[in-house]
């Protein structure tokens, strides 16, 4: 039988989650593993068993933003969501979906807007950006479909309303299977343009209804 965590162990785990959240918020680190390792190093922790789960760090990040971000965090998040909606409206033929921290409400000032686009080839998205007069950079994105399966997908970086956008291009059938979330390993939540518009209308940082959104 596994041992029940001691109160001291639980307190340390909570402190590590809070420190990892602070690191992500203040230093723009997007990788949960990197953030928790830095937190463990700061606390002098070598026991991996007490490291917090990604979900615990995300919860601590949301709490950190409520405590220290306040109105400024909400205004920044709304600006990111407006940029996301503007980009989605310019690329409707690729059935854009918003994903990641901008959707969940835990985006920091360093977070780009993350979109999933669906097309037979990435070149068609590139041509559309050229038609729109948007400077862009072609990149490669690695997406985890399952614990054992990681795929390389074409991606694009560009800006809308002075906000950085990172788009990953999937084949059309990819709209039916979302990659695994880096937070909890479940299918990543995706939101369509009308769903993002509804988020903006509500003006809330974290939207609990995203749990019902389609992958």
Residues pairing with 155 in the sheet: 139, 168
Residue 5 pLDDT > 70: no
Which ranges of 65-169 does DSSP label H, i.e. alpha helix?
70-90, 101-104, 122-131
Residue 137 pLDDT > 60: yes
Asked if residue 169 lies in contact with residue 119, where contact means CB atoms within 8 angstroms, the answer is yes
Q: What is the pLDDT of residue 207?
A: 52
CA–CA dist 174, 56 (Å, integer):
29
Asked if residue 64 lies in contact with residue 48, where contact means CB atoms within 8 angstroms, the answer is no
Residue 87 backbone zone (phi > 0: left; psi -120 to 50: alpha; other: beta): alpha
Q: What is the pLDDT of residue 206?
A: 61
pLDDT in tens, 152-189: 999 999 999 899 999 999 999 999 999 999 899 999 99
> In the chain, what percentage of residues exceed pLDDT 70?
91
Structure tokens at 215: 């992958």
pLDDT-derived band at 203 (thresholds 50, 70, 90) equals confident
Q: What is the pLDDT of residue 59?
A: 92
Residue 136 pLDDT > 90: yes
Residues pairing with 116 in the sheet: 97, 168
Reduced to 3 states, what is the DSSP secondary structure of residue 113? Answer: strand
**3-state helix, strand and coil shares in percent for the chain, rounded to the nearest 5:** 50, 20, 30
Range 20-35 burial, b when 16+ CB lie within 10 A, else e: bbbbbbeeebeebeeb
pLDDT-derived band at 1 (thresholds 50, 70, 90) equals very low
CA–CA dist 199, 114 (Å, integer):
16
pLDDT in tens, 58-109: 999 988 888 887 888 889 999 999 999 999 999 999 999 999 999 999 998 7
Q: What is the pLDDT of residue 214?
A: 45
């Amino acid at each position: 039988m596994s041992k029940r965590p001691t109160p001291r162990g639980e307190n340390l785990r909570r402190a590590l989650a809070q420190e990892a959240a602070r690191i992500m918020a203040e230093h723009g680190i997007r990788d949960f593993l990197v953030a928790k390792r830095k937190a463990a190093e700061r606390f002098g922790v070598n026991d991996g068993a007490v490291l917090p789960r990604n979900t615990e760090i995300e919860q601590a990040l949301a709490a950190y933003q409520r405590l220290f971000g306040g109105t400024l965090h909400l205004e920044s998040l709304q600006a990111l969501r407006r940029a996301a909606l503007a980009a989605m409206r310019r690329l409707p033929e690729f059935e854009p979906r918003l994903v990641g921290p901008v959707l969940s409400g835990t985006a920091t000032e360093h977070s780009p807007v993350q979109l999933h686009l669906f097309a037979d080839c990435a070149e068609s998205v590139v041509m559309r950006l050229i038609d729109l007069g948007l400077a862009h950079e072609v990149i490669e994105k690695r997406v985890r479909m399952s614990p054992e399966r990681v795929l390389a997908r074409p991606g694009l970086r560009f800006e809308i309303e002075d906000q950085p956008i990172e788009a990953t291009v999937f084949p059309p059938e990819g709209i039916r299977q979302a990659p695994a979330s880096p937070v909890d390993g479940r299918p990543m939540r995706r939101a369509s343009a009308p769903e993002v518009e509804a988020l903006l209308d509500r003006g809330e940082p974290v939207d609990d209804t995203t749990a019902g959104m389609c992958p």
